[in-house]
Copies of this chain bind each other. A is one copy, B any other.
Amino acid sequence: MKLWGGRFEERTDKFVEEFTASLPFDKRLFRHDIRGSVAHVTMLCKCGLITDDEANTIKDALGEIYREMESGEFPFDLADEDIHMAIERTLIDRVGVVGGKLHTARSRNDQVALDLRLFLREEIAEIAALIVAFQKALVETALNNLDVIMPGYTHLQRAQPVLFSHHIMAYFWMLGRDIERMHFCREQTDRLPLGSAALAGTTHPIDREYVAGLLGFSKICENSIDGVSDRDFIVEFLSAATLIAVHLSRLAEEIIIWNSSEFGFVELSEKYTTGSSIMPQKKNPDVAELIRGKSGRVFGDLIGMLTVLKGLPLAYNRDMQEDKETLFDAVDTVKACLVAARGLIGTMTVNDKAMVQAAEEGFANATDLADYLVGKGVPFRDAHRTAGEAVKKCLVECKALADLTLGEFKALNKAISEDVYGVLSVKESVKKRVSSGGTSPKRVAEQLETAKQVIEREKDWF
């Protein structure tokens, strides 16, 4: 007989039992469920709703169940529907009627909302730690390759020379925003739903603030109906997860491109690549590809959850059971991808020669020529046109800009003089981009300093 079976005369259909059961996946929440129950019992006892003896009996039995689940010995039974019922039914089996008092003043509706918040709060902290670890790896990669110049790209066309470390640090700041989002997400999980009961609150004189304190929440849900129907914190996390996935997919794409024979900017470690079953020469960037591809499942998780919530009347509806696998999948995916991306970056070799050579070819210094002309008093638009014409001339003659003679330069624009050759070296070009946040070595050094402080601050958050 189900714990809720009082009014029922017929047994649940076997298929229905399976179809509706969440136990196969929500058993993952056992730690959080038991932690919540222990806090609840402690409060029930403090408020005089159960005796000390009863509280201890329940807590001891819960502790035993916890240990069995931890060690894998617990005999799960699908008929229990979900982790809450599995634990409570076992409790009652073991300690008798007193076990039935655990559910006083609560419902599965507020219980599962609590478990999910406890779970997510924990995972957010882990993900934040993984992001910071990845940020550190990015800083290290930048520090290890301080002098490497590469072409910066727009439209996958060589645009202007930049420091490789500057390019890598762009990801640092993206990830930094991911940390800010994790911080915000954590704050949003910080409201205790327990005590909302089924949806209306409870008649028992409970103390929700006390439970909040025991479980480390600083606020309680202000409205019991909202308390059981709110899954915003899951959507927020999933949204934040899609951005992590986007960032990693962009880095992955770049590594895949850099690792092509044509670019040859990096060489991936054999530890982080795999071979082909048919082509003996292949060393494939599978890890990067999977990181890129796994963005799809995170997007899918978000859409899945949004679809579930669309048009759902208050308060709890069983549709919401779909929140769990979605959330678990996104959590696991994002964690694995962060570890993978860190390993990928940490084990790859930067081919500095290929990078600088690419920067030197391809007219990445054309903007410098234009800027040089602006320095000579030429309006920017005219300077731009002159530089464009110089490029056109070089393309026809298969030259680099620096190969033009002074006479040729002057024919294009009289404002050009001997000192033009100084501005056409990629090293000079990089060095001169001194605006705040620019790619000059000085600015990148400052950026790395700031980055270290950011990492320190992030640590204080989690």
Contacts and interface: CB of A to CB of B under 8 A. Distances in A.
Contact of A283 (B7, B13, B81): B7
B155 A437 contact: no
Contacts of A201: 433-440, 443
Nearest to A371: B203
B295 A311 contact: yes
Contact of A436 (B20, B195, B263): B195
Contacts of A243: 232, 235-236
Given A300-B304, A381-B3, A108 B157 contact: no
Given A177-B232, A297-B325, A220 B318 contact: no
A282 to B, nearest CB: 6
A385 to B, nearest CB: 4
A143 interface: no
A380 to B, nearest CB: 5
Nearest to A361: B261
Contacts of A279: 107, 154, 159-160, 198, 366-367
A305 interface: yes
Interface string A247-286: 0011011101101111100000111101111111111111
Contact of A307 (B98, B300, B316, B384): B300
Interface residues of A, number: 198
B225 A162 contact: yes
A386 B4 CA distance: 11
Contact of A290 (B19, B228, B280, B289): B19
B304 A296 contact: yes
A85 interface: yes
Contacts of A362: 261, 281
A385 B5 contact: yes
20 contacts: A7-B275, A16-B272, A19-B340, A102-B380, A108-B278, A153-B199, A154-B282, A159-B276, A173-B223, A203-B434, A224-B435, A224-B437, A224-B439, A225-B439, A236-B243, A245-B310, A261-B358, A290-B322, A295-B307, A296-B305
Interface in A5-37: 5-13, 15-16, 19-20
Is chain A's binding surface mostly helix, strand, loop or mixed? helix
How many copies altogether?
Answer: 4
B280 A170 contact: no
A374 to B, nearest CB: 6
Interface string A327-357: 0000000001001100100010000000000
A7 B277 contact: no
A203 B433 contact: yes
Contact of A85 (B104, B199, B277): B277
B195 A280 contact: no
Contact of A202 (B13, B181, B369, B371): B371
A300 B447 CA distance: 37
Contacts of A226: 169-170, 173-174
Contacts of A159: 198-200, 276, 279, 282, 315
Given A3-B384, A13-B269, A204-B435, 16 more contacts: A6-B386, A12-B271, A13-B343, A19-B336, A97-B381, A103-B278, A103-B381, A172-B223, A174-B226, A222-B447, A224-B438, A253-B313, A293-B320, A293-B322, A295-B311, A299-B310
